[in-house]
Structure 1
């Protein structure tokens, strides 16, 4: 069941007649899936690409290998590239990209622990980049990320 925050975000997007598309790594499609459970989501949701593995980021979305190698697949730099490149595949008013670490492994370090999430929003070509560190199980981290994206969108669209 979608959170109240995501439902409020959906309503605001619908009122403003805005569409949204996702490039999801850490959330593995959960943003799109949660949004798809809200009635009339077809008015705003264009779709999403799950780019969990670095090869999808590079081979499908076209993120240069050098950027992935220099910054890691779970980084602000790669997340920015994903958001920018998503518009070549899905025309939407808003592009959202998410990478991060929901469980041990990947590019985890002391400076980038499990729970680190990178979000990059493009709202009519305005960029908003956020780095958060959440705690809990992998699912709890993913659901916190969904709500964080929703709150970022609400804050930005209410301006």
Structure 2
């Protein structure tokens, strides 16, 4: 069952006749899955791409290899690039790119610990980058990210 904030966000998107698509790395499809469980989701959810491995980011979403090498696959810069790459083949009013570190073994550092998540939303051409650091198990981090995306969209659509 999706969280209350995901349900509220979905209803708002449907009410405003806005569509949405995802490019998901660290969330590995969970954003798409959570938003797909809301009644009438077909009115707003276009789809998504799981781009967990860097080669998918580069080959499908056309993220330059140099960008990944310079900033790491888990970065604000790559989150922006995957959202922009998604726009090249999936038409939606809202495009969301997400990368991050849900568990050890990625590019974590003292400045970018496990739990750091990067969200990049493009809403009708407006870019909204978000960096958050969450605590908990990998699933907890992913679900907090899903809710943060929903809150970001609610705030932006209602402004």
Q: Distance in 2 between matches of 1:66 and 1:107?
A: 16
- Superposed CA offset, 1:61-100 (max 9, x none): 1100000000000000011111111111110001000000
Aligned partner of 1:114 in structure 2 is 114
Instruction: Map 1:1-159 onto structure 2 (within 5 A).
Output: 1-159=1-159
In structure 1, the gaps of 5 or more residues are: none
* Aligned Cα root-mean-square deviation (Å): 0.4
Report runs of 4+ in structure 1 exceeding 4 Å deviation. Answer: none
Q: Which whole-Å CA distance do the structure 1 matches of 2:29 and 2:144 have between them?
A: 14
CA distance in 1, matches of 2:6, 2:39: 12
Distance 2:61 2:151 in 1: 26
Unmatched segments (≥5 aa) in structure 2: none
